[in-house]
Chain A
Amino acid sequence: MQAESTKDGSRLGVSYRRKDALDKVHGRTQYTDDFRVPGMLHTAVVPSSRAHAKIVNIDKTEAAGMVGVHGVFTGEDLPYLIGLYLGDKPALARDRVRFFGEPVVAVVAESEKVALQAAARVKIDYEDLPAVTSPREGLRKDAPVLHPDMAEYVHIPAIHPEPGSNVANRTKIRKGDAAKAFDEADVVVEGEFQFPPGDHVCMEPRIAVAEVKADGQVIIRSSTQSPYGVRGIMSRAMGIPPGKLTIIAPAVGGGFGGKAGVQLEPLAYLLSKAVGGRPVRVANSREHDLMSSPGAPGLQSRVRLGARKDGTLIAADIEFLFDSGGYADYAVNVSRAAGYSCTGPYRIDNVTADSICVYTNHPFATAYRGFGHIEMTYSIERAMEMLAERLGMDPVELRLKNAIKAGDTTPTQNVLDSNTGDLSECIRRVTKAIDWDSGTTQTAGDVVRAKGISCYWKAPAIPTFTDASAMVSFNEDGSVNLMTGAVEIGQGIFTGLSQVVAERLGIDPEQVHCVSEVMTDRAAHDWTTAASRTLFMVGRAALGAVDDAVAQIKEVAAAPLRVPVEDLTVAGGRVFVADEPDIGLDLSDVVLGYVYENGNAIGGPIIGRGRYIARHLSHLDPETGEGHPGLEWTIGAEGVEVEVNRRTGAYRILKSACAMDVGRVINPALARGQVVGAMAMGIGYTTREAFEFDNRERILNGKLRDFKILRYGEHPEYVVDFVETPQRDGPFGARGLGEQGIVGMPAVLSAAFSRAVGKQLNEMPITPEYLWRSSREVKGGAT
């Protein structure tokens, strides 16, 4: 069923069916691996069987001699260092391996079968090196330094690596006088929290197919959220002129940050170049996607909060240690994001924080839905629960008392403006949804039902110059084509964008056709489909393009209508005089040029151009963190009810509620889908989606039979509620909402489970065994 527009005719706030729905449910959407290029060769990668080791020898003789093998390559053959922010990573390991599963050798062959057979015949000799097992271990003075050449790595100015150590980036926040405020505090609580690295587990594993044409043109088709990012990074690192490098991004089967940045593209390109330019396919198996490509960072953190007796927060001292794994990738910016948002959505005037990205011998980490804010929120909200317990104060009241609002300052000393969302209203709605006031625990024998609440905020962690572009053109019937650099990653972006465009033009969204495959040589530059910024920024660019086209339409129509341009308006597929609507033309008579009765023509095809660049963002001061990193803050609250059997540790999550201030809801069904999906992902993140390592830091659960994600039948009841305080610089007042639903989930589940067992649970994943053990500790080992 197609939704209708609202009573006032608006296309906003209406659940139009997704433009990609029918093809997706019929299995007809074409993803990267559905394009098989003639002459394409296949790759098999040999992963490291060690977490940290020197590569002593690689014997590729037998593999290279096999029929159908075009080449067997090692890191020595592909001498480039690539990185998103910090150029620390070779396409294949050189000299040493830094994590279990790191690609060491690549075999290129006629078929995947031959490539895999040859890969099994490559012999690699390693000499084990002592492994860095956690970020805290990595900071020890005697820790092995994983990147001895860090001083020579190229990096962007916004991050601050510390050569000679394992610190890939450090973000410092110094606001007010925390030491003095702690002295004045009536109550101080401190806690340490931790969880291991995890993974996105996208339905579509990563893949890139690269080809070097005879004239030097490089074409890469890739499962990427960041076609322009890939172009920029590869052209800089490898000296390919950007105009000679085209990245094609078809529909992506889930990204969650894991396909932002640069992934398999450099390896595919280097291999293609090495075999004379033939198309080379590099495709992750599920296991390689879990272990060899980057996942979510782990964390060790420490939070100290100081408050007055009445619960007013006055001081915070915070340390976030991010487990970046063997390479920095996006993790250096993830740690930065946790730094600039470090207090959560609470007013705290005196703050010291160090957010550090540390190399370890774990799988390397990249962007993951929530991007630093999920780790930050988990830590801060755990400490808030400790504070409420210490004060004997209702956790909801404590949060309402400190809820951030317009006029307060962020950790980076920005004053929040009137666009700031209404956190108190979000808290009120969530507490109502889980019926907080009827009691937070309920016990029947061994079974306890308990509730929890958490607040969260998130601002996109983006370059100061983050941009977007859009172009509109028209068809014979007056319908619109929208071309942008936005990638469909499952979020339904083209449906939202078509509603924005349709609203501005006063037409049906069905009349807006979106170019759904991004090719970097066609659409103008767009930063990346990440950070929940696409509807906001590309929406703004699209509105600009519409306005530009409308001006052109009026200019063309003014002549045959013999009216001043400024008297014309465009709506409902027509251009007409605002106060005499009968004087007008159908858009179909104008958008490709107007033709007079005698055959004379004017105008020509209308092309609207729109662009956007982030406003007033600035770098953070390296010593104090002062600066403006956050374009818009999406603020919200989450609440859950869980049921725990304290005797066995078995649990159920009964209800999960989220209230979020999104500015303006463009498509309610899509918005709800994003938030429900994010909450579900957060349940998995909290309860099971974590890597386990043996005593040599090798991954034990690198397969989906062991690495569990949530299934149908394991979901709670979801309640989603939106508050609409307009973001006045967003399209029709909208702000980002794609990731935010996950941000409070580890915190809110930890709060509820802690309440159920009667003990603060400061580690994840939270499993029945952990609940059982904690319950026994509370009971003093009874039963």
Chain B
Amino acid sequence: MIPFDVVYFRPSNIDEAITAFKEADDEGLKPRFLSGGTEIVTMARDNKMPARAFIDLKEISECHTLETGSGRFTVGACVPLNRIVEGNTWPLLAKASRGVADHTVRNTLTLGGNAAGMLPYREALLPFLVGEGAATLAGPGGTRTVGVREIFEKRLRLEAGEFLVSLSVSEEALAMPSHYERHTKDARVDYPLVSLTMLRNGSQVRAAFAGAAAYPVAEDELDDALSGTGTTEERARKAVAVIEKAIRSDMRAGAEYRQFLLTEALAAGLNAVEG
């Protein structure tokens, strides 16, 4: 059980959410935005959740967008991953979303919670990192839309009091050659040792992957190595060399095995997107 009381807000629009957050923050309640809440519940049970106020974004219509229009495919932060999987508008996103948790949890777990929540893997964010996606954010200073990579440094760097409204990519990105693969320690429902998305836009190959390091990796230098010259194996090795020091060992696997899986996955990805 969750052994503490919380203040729960369910604003019906963006302005109310921003105001509610500010008020709760002023009262010292360390507020958090809530979307699916699956991770908030597990951390609260474990006494690892300092927040005493939650601003639930589920009533905000912009957070429920799941549509293609004006040349872009837009997914709201409160869309459960299973809806993305079942809609399958962007197969790369559908596959990456399907890798997260299990079916029951994905009924509740949302894109926003996965992309901007507390766990470091953010696998549903990866397609937007390779697809030159954009993030729409709402905060005290108003609403802004920025390139996902512009605000990504190990995680999405949001301003204080700001929340993710939606993520989008151009419609062209939906049809670009892409690759996804995922490796776990053993059980399929587990955090990844390597969860890789790769996408080719003309001659530019981009990769983003989670699990190998303590944070998702998406770096221009690595993409340049992948897009350069050489055999797929050579390019994969060059790309891995860029982040080799960040590859981690933990209870799930050693760095050596992660590095092997990552190198193999990048080479397989290059073969797939260039084939």
Q: B257 and A116: CB pair below 8 A?
A: no
- Nearest residue in A to B42 (C-beta to C-beta)? A705
Known: A112-B3, A692-B251. A120 touches B187 (CB 8 A): no
B261 at the interface (CB under 8 A from A): yes
Q: Which of A287, A687, A688, A768 has the most CB of B within 10 A?
A: A768
Task: Say whether chain A's binding surface is mostly helix, strand, loop, or mixed.
Answer: loop
B87 at the interface (CB under 8 A from A): no
- Nearest residue in A to B47 (C-beta to C-beta)? A120
Q: B187 and A688: CB pair below 8 A?
A: yes
Interface residues of A in 635-657 (CB under 8 A from B): 647-650
A767 at the interface (CB under 8 A from B): yes
The segment out of A49-57, A220-228, A617-625, A706-714 that lies at the interface is: A706-714
Q: A113 and B251: CB pair below 8 A?
A: no
Give, as a whole number of angstroms, the nearest-CB distance from A51 to chain B. 16
B264 at the interface (CB under 8 A from A): yes
- The answer, among B42, B186, B257, for a CB contact under 8 Å with A708, is B186
Known: A120-B47, A772-B257, A773-B257. A688 touches B1 (CB 8 A): no
Known: A648-B264, A706-B251. A687 touches B186 (CB 8 A): yes
Known: A116-B3, A700-B251. A767 touches B185 (CB 8 A): yes
Q: B187 and A701: CB pair below 8 A?
A: no
- Nearest residue in A to B257 (C-beta to C-beta)? A769
Q: Mark B90-109, 1 if CB is under 8 A from A, else 0.
A: 00000000000010000000
Measured between beta carbons, the chain A residues less than 8 angstroms from B260 are 648, 772
Q: A120 and B3: CB pair below 8 A?
A: yes
Q: How far is the CA of A769 from the CA of B186 in the complex (A)?
A: 9
Q: B190 and A769: CB pair below 8 A?
A: no
- Nearest residue in A to B187 (C-beta to C-beta)? A708
Q: A117 and B4: CB pair below 8 A?
A: yes
Q: How far is the CA of A713 from the CA of B103 in the complex (A)?
A: 12
Measured between beta carbons, the chain A residues less than 8 angstroms from B190 are 708
Q: A767 and B186: CB pair below 8 A?
A: yes
Known: A113-B1, A116-B1, A687-B186. A648 touches B261 (CB 8 A): yes
- Nearest residue in B to A684 (C-beta to C-beta)? B187
Measured between beta carbons, the chain A residues less than 8 angstroms from B146 are none
Measured between beta carbons, the chain A residues less than 8 angstroms from B102 are 711
B188 at the interface (CB under 8 A from A): yes
- The answer, among A687, A706, A710, A769, for a CB contact under 8 Å with B254, is A769
Q: B251 and A701: CB pair below 8 A?
A: yes
- Nearest residue in A to B253 (C-beta to C-beta)? A769
Interface residues of B in 249-272 (CB under 8 A from A): 251, 253-254, 257, 260-261, 264
Measured between beta carbons, the chain A residues less than 8 angstroms from B189 are 708, 711
Measured between beta carbons, the chain B residues less than 8 angstroms from A769 are 185, 253-254, 257
Interface residues of A in 714-744 (CB under 8 A from B): 714
Measured between beta carbons, the chain A residues less than 8 angstroms from B261 are 648
Give, as a whole number of angstroms, the nearest-CB distance from B76 to chain A. 27
Measured between beta carbons, the chain B residues less than 8 angstroms from A705 are 42, 191
Interface residues of A in 748-783 (CB under 8 A from B): 765, 767-769, 772-773
Q: Mark B183-225, 1 if CB is under 8 A from A, else 0.
A: 1011111110000000000000000000000000000000000
Q: A117 and B186: CB pair below 8 A?
A: no
- Nearest residue in B to A766 (C-beta to C-beta)? B186
- Nearest residue in A to B4 (C-beta to C-beta)? A117
Q: B186 and A688: CB pair below 8 A?
A: yes
Q: Which of B102, B189, B251, B264 has the most CB of A within 10 A?
A: B251
Q: A113 and B254: CB pair below 8 A?
A: no
Q: How far is the CA of A112 from the CA of B45 in the complex (A)?
A: 12
Number of interface residues of A (CB under 8 A): 30
Q: B3 and A113: CB pair below 8 A?
A: yes
- Nearest residue in B to A118 (C-beta to C-beta)? B3
Measured between beta carbons, the chain A residues less than 8 angstroms from B183 are 648, 650, 768
Q: How far is the CA of A492 from the CA of B99 in the complex (A)?
A: 37
Give, as a whole number of angstroms, the nearest-CB distance from B225 to chain A. 21
Number of interface residues of B (CB under 8 A): 23
Q: How far is the CA of A120 from the CA of B48 in the complex (A)?
A: 11
- Nearest residue in A to B261 (C-beta to C-beta)? A648
Q: Which of B47, B186, B187, B251 has the most CB of A within 10 A?
A: B186
Measured between beta carbons, the chain A residues less than 8 angstroms from B3 are 112-113, 116-117, 120
Give, as a whole number of angstroms, the nearest-CB distance from B105 to chain A. 10
Q: How far is the CA of A601 from the CA of B13 in the complex (A)?
A: 82
- Nearest residue in A to B264 (C-beta to C-beta)? A648
Q: Mark A101-124, 1 if CB is under 8 A from B, else 0.
A: 000000000001100110010000
- Nearest residue in B to A694 (C-beta to C-beta)? B251
- Nearest residue in B to A285 (C-beta to C-beta)? B45
- Nearest residue in B to A767 (C-beta to C-beta)? B186
Q: How far is the CA of A708 from the CA of B260 in the complex (A)?
A: 23
Q: Which of B46, B254, B260, B264 has the most CB of A within 10 A?
A: B260
Give, as a whole number of angstroms, the nearest-CB distance from B43 to chain A. 11
Known: A648-B264, A701-B251, A706-B251. A768 touches B186 (CB 8 A): yes
Give, as a whole number of angstroms, the nearest-CB distance from A202 to chain B. 19
- Nearest residue in A to B256 (C-beta to C-beta)? A773
Interface residues of B in 139-196 (CB under 8 A from A): 183, 185-191
Measured between beta carbons, the chain B residues less than 8 angstroms from A714 are 187-188
- Nearest residue in A to B184 (C-beta to C-beta)? A768
Q: Mark B1-43, 1 if CB is under 8 A from A, else 0.
A: 1011000000000000000000000000000000000000010
Give, as a whole number of angstroms, the nearest-CB distance from B108 to chain A. 15
- Nearest residue in A to B119 (C-beta to C-beta)? A705
Interface residues of B in 49-86 (CB under 8 A from A): none
Known: A116-B3, A117-B3, A120-B47. A711 touches B251 (CB 8 A): no
Measured between beta carbons, the chain A residues less than 8 angstroms from B1 are 112-113, 116
Measured between beta carbons, the chain B residues less than 8 angstroms from A688 are 185-187
Measured between beta carbons, the chain B residues less than 8 angstroms from A708 are 185-187, 189-190
- The answer, among A112, A287, A650, A711, for a CB contact under 8 Å with B187, is A711
Q: How far is the CA of A650 from the CA of B47 in the complex (A)?
A: 36
Q: How far is the CA of A649 from the CA of B42 in the complex (A)?
A: 32
Measured between beta carbons, the chain B residues less than 8 angstroms from A706 are 251
- Nearest residue in A to B2 (C-beta to C-beta)? A113
Give, as a whole number of angstroms, the nearest-CB distance from B98 to chain A. 13
Give, as a whole number of angstroms, the nearest-CB distance from A503 to chain B. 43
Measured between beta carbons, the chain B residues less than 8 angstroms from A116 are 1, 3
Give, as a whole number of angstroms, the nearest-CB distance from A544 to chain B. 47
Measured between beta carbons, the chain B residues less than 8 angstroms from A692 are 251
Q: How far is the CA of A747 from the CA of B183 in the complex (A)?
A: 26
Interface residues of A in 653-693 (CB under 8 A from B): 687-688, 692
Q: How far is the CA of A116 from the CA of B2 in the complex (A)?
A: 9
Q: How far is the CA of A711 from the CA of B104 in the complex (A)?
A: 13
Measured between beta carbons, the chain B residues less than 8 angstroms from A773 are 257
Give, as a whole number of angstroms, the nearest-CB distance from B44 to chain A. 11
Q: How far is the CA of A773 from the CA of B188 in the complex (A)?
A: 20
Q: How far is the CA of A550 from the CA of B275 in the complex (A)?
A: 81
Q: How far is the CA of A229 from the CA of B102 in the complex (A)?
A: 40
Give, as a whole number of angstroms, the nearest-CB distance from A705 to chain B. 8
Give, as a whole number of angstroms, the nearest-CB distance from B121 to chain A. 12
Q: How far is the CA of A305 from the CA of B165 in the complex (A)?
A: 67
Q: How far is the CA of A287 from the CA of B189 in the complex (A)?
A: 19
Q: How far is the CA of A532 from the CA of B186 in the complex (A)?
A: 31
- Nearest residue in B to A693 (C-beta to C-beta)? B251
Q: Could you list which residues of chain A lie within 8 angstroms of chain B, going by C-beta atoms?
A: 112-113, 116-117, 120, 285, 287, 647-650, 687-688, 692, 700-701, 703, 705-706, 708, 710-711, 713-714, 765, 767-769, 772-773
A-B contact pairs, 8 of them (CB 8 A): A116-B1, A120-B47, A285-B45, A648-B264, A688-B187, A708-B185, A711-B189, A773-B257
A711-B102, A713-B188, A765-B186 given; name 13 further pairs at CB < 8 Å.
A116-B1, A117-B4, A285-B45, A647-B264, A649-B257, A688-B186, A703-B46, A708-B186, A711-B189, A714-B188, A769-B185, A769-B254, A773-B257
Q: Could you list which residues of chain B lie within 8 angstroms of chain A, going by C-beta atoms?
A: 1, 3-4, 42, 45-47, 102, 183, 185-191, 251, 253-254, 257, 260-261, 264
Task: Please name the 7 residue pairs, one residue from A and one from B, whose CB atoms are nearest each other, closest first.
Answer: A116-B3, A708-B187, A769-B257, A700-B251, A692-B251, A113-B3, A688-B186
